[in-house]
Amino acid sequence: MNIDLKGRKAIVTGSTAGIGRATAEGLAQAGASVVISGRGNARVDEAVRQIRQAFPGSEVAGVAADLATVEGVESFIARTPDADILVNNVGTAHIRDYTGIEDIAKIPDEDWLGLFQLNVMSGVRMTRHSICRAW
């Protein structure tokens, strides 16, 4: 079975490392043009360089944005072409370092809300844009 995504445009959020990076690489290998994302220009640029080097001929671009904010998502969407494939990968399980139950109890509301903004709302906002485009 040969997965051929030539002609498809893909966006993978949170893709300078980890599952997102592996997904972006796999999509590029399958022929898709891929936009990767991360918060900082340096990490995004380096990831793009490494992927292009590992997979010569692949179409990979990068956009730096904080997808945990409305402004970040709007900025990202403004700079990325519409896509056929959207992988809402960005997220984290790390709030802060803690060593016990007492520390967990001290995690402030803003940290929990920050997790929600990144892990849930980034996907909602990105998908909302894609849905409006598709239909």
Partner 1 sequence: MAKQAEASGITQEEAEQGFLKAMRPTTLIQRFATTDEVASMIIYACSEQASATTGAALRVDGGVVRFVA
Site residues (vs partner 1, CB under 8 A): 1, 3-5, 8, 10, 18-19, 21-23, 25-27, 30, 32, 85, 87
- What whole-number distance in Å separates Cα of residue 134 and Cα of residue 106? 43
Cα dihedral sign for 16, 30, 5, 89? negative
- Residue 70 vs 104, nearer CB to partner 1: 104
Alpha-carbon gap, residue 117 to 121, rounded angstroms: 5
CB of 33 to partner 1, least distance (A): 13
| Comparison of 77 and 86: residue with beta carbon closer to partner 1 | 86
Task: Indicate the residue among 29 and 69 with the shorter CB distance to partner 1.
Answer: 29
> In this structure, what are the phi and psi dihedrals at residue 82, rounded to the nearest 5 degrees?
-60, 150
Shortest Å distance, C-beta 95 to partner 1? 15
Q: Which amino acid is at 29?
A: Q
